[in-house]
Amino acid sequence: MDKCIFCKIASNEIKSYKVYEDDYVIAFLDLNPASRGHTLVVTKEHFDNFTTVPKDILNHTMNVAQLIAQAAITKLGAKGINIITNVGKAAGQSIMHFHVHVIPRYEDDGLSLTFPPKQIEDKELLLISDSIKSGM
């Protein structure tokens, strides 16, 4: 099977602006950054998304994302950070290789990540919470 683009970056077949690398993950700048310092933390092994990555590698990926977030605050002057991982096309995932976005935020950076509120009844909230609980 053909390697995906993040597998190729992880194996250095494709160039990236790398900020971190170890045996399990690589982190590099997003080529179409949402903000200054927008970085992707990517597993070296191919997993489709957040829901299928083994827990120990997931934990490690989040630890590295935390280090990058801290560096963006101390070295780039970020005033906040968004941590995002998209799961599936419906959620906007375009590269089907698990990755975490570390998006530094600045005052008045013009970026808007809002969740428009929806009306929902108590009965429906109860049904939904029961469904999620039964799937865990």
Contact positions vs Zn ion (CB under 5 A): 4, 6-7, 46, 97
Annotate 17-76 with DSSP letters as a single string: -EEEE-SSEEEEE-SS-SSTT-EEEEESS--SSTTTS-HHHHHHHHHHHHHHHHHHHHHS
Give catalytic residues, as residue numbers.
99
CB 42 within 8 Å of CB 28: yes
Residue with Cβ nearer Zn ion (91 or 125): 91
Would you say 25 or 72 has its CB closer to Zn ion?
A: 25
- Judged by beta carbon, residue 1 or residue 113, the one nearer Zn ion is 1
Please choose which of Zn ion, ligand AMP, none residue 114 contacts, taking the beta carbon within 5 to 8 angstroms, the exact cut-off set by kind: none
Return the one option of ligand AMP, Zn ion, none that residue 46 interacts with (CB less than 5 to 8 A, by type). Zn ion
- Shortest Cβ distance from residue 44 to ligand AMP (Å)? 15
Q: Which residues bind ligand AMP (CB under 6 A)?
A: 5, 16, 28, 30-32, 40, 86, 92-95
